[in-house]
Amino acid sequence: MNVTPSLLRPVLCGALLAALPAQSLELDVAGGSLPGTLVLDAYPAAYPFELMVIVPSSNAGPTPIQLFDPNDLRSLSIGLDMVSFAWPVLGDLTLHGTVQVPIAAQPSLVDVPLFFQAVTLLWQPTLLGRLSNGNVVRFGLAGTFRDRAVTMMEERAFSTALVRADRSALVIGGARGQLLAQVATATTDAYDAATDTFSYGPSMTTPRSMHTMTRLPDGRYLLCGGVNATNDPQASCEIYDPVTDSFAAVASMATPRMGHTANLLPNGLVLVTGGIEAMPVTPTQLEPIHNTVSSTELYDPATDTWSAGPSLTTPRAAHAAIVRPDDKILFAGGISWDPLLFTWLPAVRSTCDLYDPATNTMTFGPSMATARALADPIQLAPDRWLLAGGMNALSIIPFNPGNPTAAAEIYDATTNTWTSVGAMATARANHMGWPLGNGRFLIAGGADNSILSPSPLSSTEIFDVATNTFSPGPMMSTGRAGASFVFAHQGQVQVFGGAATSTTITSGTEWYYF
């Protein structure tokens, strides 16, 4: 009996695949903007030019493979209603198989989910070889925010958020109640893209809001301080391990802190600076400002120990931290206070401190043109950062809690200087910001009015580096101050919670489509 090469090919491919080390097949899907391009990437191929097939579906399945292969007891995570549209892709020399699919601007597709899974062909003993993870995109109009009425399990402001290895977002802690009277939670919210729903994730060891989260070199995350369930700053810390999807307590700081910063240093230590160490409410609501500290601490993950760092030149809380290309860190502005005879005065700083990790020293940095706090820096280039808005004044004599500013300026690490640029249309603090591409950056939400009576904003503004000016951006579905966000695996920005009014914190979420 003669056997032709074409008949041998499937058998030889199957034997080759069986001889190679087993690897999981991954499928990344990015896109969803209308108009836009879906980018589907299956990897790793078992060898260059291996055939992989990416299958779309209008539903999430599951589909028993026995329906078309009696020898295979597994299930696909998608349906088979669109199998005729499947894309065959060949692994390239980097073992990736990619296909790009243009999508026209069809409003009827808004919120429509499209599910995907990649497979390889084995032929014997089963038709299919490796099966990838399932993936999904939901469509939205480019350049807009989309609220699909997907809510978290709890209301959260001042939470932190990350993307887990399984591509799901995890929203950590935060608080309900009011911006100035927080009730922190130890719970987390996990988002499942396949079902477009949230469920509780692993709990922290203690409630915390306005905490910091720092990714360590080994992929774990250090969470430090923040306020507890009674709105008091705490010294406790814990680590989230994405491998075990769990939190574990670690050594506490020497000083309770909220409104502090935390930055990873080149030597693997974490530098924590400033913050407010206590929240007394008498004799005025601004009394906690007098508890702003200038101390810093260094955490060593290898030994689970804290040590004192160099003091800031002035107390700072809600300040900005800019990590320069030379690894020095600029600490800009922040809430502070000044002694005055037998009393004290609240202040917002325009001054900056410069930390050198090589010498573990703190020195004066260049001052900003505008005093500001509660404004995060947005990196424009490897050596340039935008600081826009923030709270810029506080006073108790006469009583005037101050208001945000619309002023903006750019820090240049190469020249170690600040340069004022065009102001925003709306003064705001506690806002968010991210790059849009092509030299454009979005500033979203935050709050205007005084620090004691904030008015959350739903408006956004776009900064253009070509003109150093702002223009109006797309509206969010609701006001959001103190919201958190992640860059979702599918390519959108996913926004979580925040204060919708001065007395209301929301569990709502929405997506920005590029």
User: Per residue in 427-450, pLDDT tens?
Assistant: 999 999 999 999 999 999 999 988
Instruction: Provide the pLDDT for residue 18.
Output: 41
Size (the chain), residues = 514
Q: Does 122 have pLDDT greater than 90?
A: yes
Cα 386 to Cα 407: distance, rounded to the nearest angstrom: 11
pLDDT digits (tens, 9 = 90+) for 255-264: 999 999 999 9
- Residues 199-207: what's their mean pLDDT? 98
This model's pTM is above 0.85: yes
Q: 355: buried, middle or exposed (CB in 10 Å: 19+, 13-18, 0-12)?
A: buried
In eight-state DSSP terms, residue 202 is P
Q: Output the six-digit token pair for 1.
A: 């009996």
Of all residues in the chain, the percent with pLDDT exceeding 70 is 94
Cα 475 to Cα 493: distance, rounded to the nearest angstrom: 14
Q: Output the six-digit token pair for 451.
A: 């620090």
- What is the maximum span of the chain, computed from C-alpha positions, in angstroms? 106
Measured in degrees and rounded to the nearest 5, phi and psi for residue 287 equal: -55, -35
Average pLDDT over all residues of the chain: 93
- Measuring CA to CA, which residue among 325, 198, 336, 212 is closest to residue 271? 212
- Measuring CA to CA, which residue among 293, 442, 461 is closest to residue 378? 442
Instruction: Provide the pLDDT for residue 7.
Output: 34
Q: Is 368 helix (H, G, I), strand (E, B) or coil?
A: coil
Instruction: Provide the pLDDT for residue 22.
Output: 55
**Most confident residue range from 21-30, 298-307, 339-348:** 298-307
Domain architecture of the chain: domains with CATH: 5-141 (2.60.40.10), 144-513 (2.120.10.80)
pLDDT digits (tens, 9 = 90+) for 71-82: 999 999 999 999
Q: Does 15 have pLDDT greater than 80?
A: no
Cα 226 to Cα 240: distance, rounded to the nearest angstrom: 16
Would you say 330 and 380 are in contact if contact means Cβ atoms under 8 Å apart? no
Ramachandran assignment for 219, one of left (phi > 0), alpha (psi -120 to 50 degrees), beta (any other): left
Strands 113-121 vs 128-131: parallel, antiparallel or unpaired: antiparallel
In eight-state DSSP terms, residue 474 is P
- Measuring CA to CA, which residue among 263, 264, 254, 215 is closest to residue 234? 254
Q: Does 12 have pLDDT greater than 50?
A: no
